[in-house]
Amino acid sequence: MALKTILHLSDLPNLDHVPEIYSTCFSKGLDLNRASSFRIPKFMVIGHRGHGMNILQSSDSRMKAIKENSILSFNSAAKFPLDFIEFDVQVTKDDCPVIFHDDFILTEENGTIFEKKVTELCLAEFLCYGPQKETGKEGKCLYRKTKDGKFVKWNVETDDSLCTLQDAFQKVEPSLGFNIELKFDDFAVYQQDHLLHILQVILQVVFEFARDRPIIFSTFQPDAAQLVRKLQNNYPVYFLTEGGASIYYDVRRNSLGEAMKVCLEGGLQGIVSEIKGVFKDPGAVPKIKDSNLSLLTYGKLNNVPEAVHMQYLMGIDGVIVDFVEEISQTVDDMIKPAKEMTTEGKGESEANSKLQFSQKELSFLLKLIPELIQF
């Protein structure tokens, strides 16, 4: 497997000289008691790229229903009992934070596919792709590259225009929390000054338009994670990891144990892991919790109700999902018995008896799961 290069924070100038430029009160709905100890109030459901990511070659129509990372997708997700939506933010060359997952944006001209790096486009160029807001104006046709190297038209049942981070703050249901993934190229080497500039541009928009909206930052880039934590103390910062599913040159990205170190060294509030990494190493969950870190997960298995229920029993704090309607209903059904018992005054100990497995059965399942999960 190819090794991916990441610049270590230790190779950069001392971060102690970076000022904490943003601080004040914390978003309502989330409790940040102190910098190193963040607690999520309940099991959370987070919509992946809004209403769900697009997999254009999938036979499941739900994966092609609504354009991912769009205002339409975000507001469609808001119709369900979600706590947050997750989306990817990059910064254009003229310093505008935009919402787009892929590093490159693809279109076709005269039978040839052309690709351009999102961060090398100016905002006007970026917005020329896909459906246009202006009546009668036609945008460049969007394509996407599949894992097997094929180029396919980005056709979905309900399309929408590309958007900026500011658009999302101004046009999305205000009670819906934002999990903002700070998107960086896995193959790029970033100087600290560049990371600092990108993060400040994003934070400027967040602090101007967020108001009372709950916000969580997350990123796979360990230096960016620690830097955004240094730059502000309003919003929790999570370190994203594949939990060992891929091997990177930067060892900080290669396991849950390394992710814990990044969080504890940088004063981060939690980890977002690919669920296979957690199921492969379930013993990491109590270690993460004992370290006063929150744990969320992402991945295709989070679209399976039984896998989500298992995480609930394991004490994981929330899931990022594509099938927002189905999984939000599953979670509501899971936590309803606990709510009812608490309402009836039977106490917290009985409310926690929501487990449908005995401790012995749960222990057996936790030992069995790593044998079932293959990377």
SS (H, E, C) the chain: CCCCCCCCHHHCCCHHHCCCCECCCCCCCCEEEECCEEECCCCEEEEECCCCCCCCCCCCHHHHCECCCCHHHHHHHCCCCCCEEEEEEEECCCCCEEECCCCEEEEEECCEEEEEEHHHCCHHHHCCECCCCCCCCCCECEEEECCCCCEEECCCCECCCCEEHHHHHHHCCCCCEEEEEECCCCCCCCCHHHHHHHHHHHHHHHHHHCCCCCEEEEECCHHHHHHHHHHECCCCEEEEECCCCCCCCCHHHCCHHHHHHHHHHHCCCEEEEEHHHHHHCCCHHHHHHHCCCEEEEECHHHHCHHHHHHHHHHCCCEEEECCHHHHHHHHHHHHHHHHHHHHCCCHHHHHHHHCCCCHHHHHHHHHHHHHHCCC
As a whole number, mean pLDDT of residues 334-352 equals 55
Q: Would you say residue 369 has pLDDT above 70?
A: no
Give me the pLDDT at residue 187, please. 84
Summarised one tens digit per residue, pLDDT across range 54-103 is 999 999 999 999 999 999 999 999 999 999 999 999 999 999 999 999 99
Quote the distance between the C-alpha of residue 64 and its chain's center. Answer: 20
Q: Which residues of 119-142 are buried (b: 16+ CB within 10 A; e: fewer)?
A: bebebebbbbbbeeeeeeeebbeb
Q: Would you say residue 260 has pLDDT above 60?
A: yes
**What percentage of the chain exceeds 70 in pLDDT?**
79
Give me the pLDDT at residue 10, please. 43
Give me the pLDDT at residue 340, please. 57
**Confidence grade of residue 26 (pLDDT, cut at 50, 70, 90):** very low
Most confident of 246-255, 279-288, 318-327: 318-327
**Confidence grade of residue 137 (pLDDT, cut at 50, 70, 90):** very high
Give me the pLDDT at residue 168, please. 98
Neighbouring CB atoms inside 10 A of 3's CB total 10
Q: Would you say residue 274 has pLDDT above 90?
A: yes
SS3 track for 226-271: HHHHHHECCCCEEEEECCCCCCCCCHHHCCHHHHHHHHHHHCCCEE
Give me the pLDDT at residue 3, please. 40
Q: How far is 18 from 21, CA to CA, in rounded Å?
A: 9
Token pair of 269 as six digits:
């509030």
Give me the pLDDT at residue 344, please. 53
Domain 44-103+158-334: top CATH class: alpha beta
Give me the pLDDT at residue 40, please. 76
Q: How far is 370 from 281, CA to CA, in rounded Å?
A: 7
Give me the pLDDT at residue 364, please. 59
Q: Is the pTM of this model over 0.75?
A: yes
Token pair of 252 as six digits:
């900080």
Q: Would you say residue 235 has pLDDT above 60?
A: yes
Give me the pLDDT at residue 29, please. 41
Give me the pLDDT at residue 131, please. 97
Q: Would you say residue 37 has pLDDT above 70?
A: no
Q: What is the mean pLDDT of the chain?
A: 86
